[in-house]
């Protein structure tokens, strides 16, 4: 297995984010129809909040129960593992998902990866993990 390339990781991230956003939009539509008193700013805030919570929930569950793979990671053959190649713990999956779902952290991480020219993200360093390319046989 080799380190996963940056572009593959970015595409996998966007796939996972789109899935979470779809669920968030559905939740917002239900809330808006349930209460006509919410203004547009609150709707935007709720959308971002739900997106973050749903992203963190979905990715924590998929990373942990599918052995380091999210939907985007599965499609792009990326697997997250501990640096000693042990499987992720639930805590690793949770910390990685919660921080990765927080937009300002994503921006800081993108700048970090470009400046340092590394394949390991801030989130990898926080959780002592690596992203590897894997192929189904």
31-35, 45-49, 94-98, 115-119 — which is least confidently predicted?
31-35
> Which whole number is the average pLDDT over 71-98?
90
Average pLDDT over residues 118-123: 77
Mean pLDDT in residue range 105-114: 76
Q: Is 85 a residue whose pLDDT tops 80? A: yes
Question: pTM above the 0.85 mark?
Answer: no
Per the structure, the complete domain to which residue 38 belongs is given by: 2-133
Cβ atoms of residues 111 and 121 within 8 Å: no
Please state, in angstroms and rounded to a whole number, the distance separating the CA atoms of residues 65 and 129. Answer: 16
Who has greater pLDDT, 46 or 130?
Answer: 130
Find the mean pLDDT for residues 77-85.
90
Q: How far apart are CA 127 and CA 109, in angstroms?
A: 14
CB 3 within 8 A of CB 131: yes
Averaged over 61-79, what is the pLDDT? Answer: 91
> What's the pLDDT tens digit per position in 26-63?
877 777 776 666 676 777 777 778 888 888 999 999 99
10-24: pLDDT as tens digits? 888 888 888 888 887
Beta-carbon contacts of 75 under 8 Å, excluding residues fewer than 6 positions away, are 12, 15
Burial of 106: CB neighbours in 10 Å, binned 0-12, 13-18, 19+: middle
43-52, 68-77, 79-88 — which is least confidently predicted?
A: 43-52
Structurally, how many domains does the chain consist of?
1
Mean pLDDT, rounded, for 71-93: 90
């Amino acid at each position: 297995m080799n380190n996963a390339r940056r572009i593959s990781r970015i595409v996998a991230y966007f796939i996972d984010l789109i899935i979470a956003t779809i669920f968030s939009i559905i939740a917002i539509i239900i809330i808006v129809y349930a209460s006509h008193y919410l203004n547009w700013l609150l709707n935007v805030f709720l959308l971002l909040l739900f997106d973050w919570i749903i992203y963190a929930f979905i990715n924590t569950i998929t990373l942990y129960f599918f052995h380091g793979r999210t939907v985007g990671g599965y499609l792009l053959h990326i697997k997250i593992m501990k640096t000693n190649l042990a499987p992720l713990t639930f805590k690793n999956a949770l910390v990685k998902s919660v921080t990765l779902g927080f937009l300002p952290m994503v921006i800081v991480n993108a700048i970090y990866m470009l400046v340092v020219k590394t394949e390991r993200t801030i989130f990898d360093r926080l959780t002592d993990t690596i992203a590897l390319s894997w192929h189904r046989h």
